[in-house]
Amino acid sequence: PPAAAGEPLVGVPTTGTFGTLQARAVEDSNVDLTAELVNMIVAQRVYQANSQTIKVQDTVLQTLVSLR
């Protein structure tokens, strides 16, 4: 395992700080899909705005070069 993960803990379930194991159980998703979708849309809009800014800057520079 990577060093950042730390040393593995070995023990008996339900003793000390160890939990229990449940057979045939599925863990629920720990991701808020709505929040992640909103974050993705915001990131896309920011990217589009930055892209538009670069396009405008390019147009301005091309105009300045053509004025010389």
* Residue 61 included in any domain: yes
Structural domain harbouring 59: 29-68
* Residue 57 included in any domain: yes
pLDDT at 20: 86
**21-49 burial code (b ≥16 CB/10 A, e <16):** eeeeeeeeeeeeeeeeeeeeeeeeeeeee
pLDDT per residue of the chain (68 residues) written in tens, 0 to 9: 577 888 888 998 888 888 888 888 888 888 999 999 999 999 999 999 999 999 999 999 999 999 87
pTM of the predicted protein model: 0.55
* Residue 2 included in any domain: no
* Residue 64 included in any domain: yes
Q: What is the tally of structural domains in the chain?
A: 1
Q: What phi, psi does 19 have (nearest 5°)?
A: -90, -160
* Residue 40 included in any domain: yes
* Residue 39 included in any domain: yes
* Residue 60 included in any domain: yes
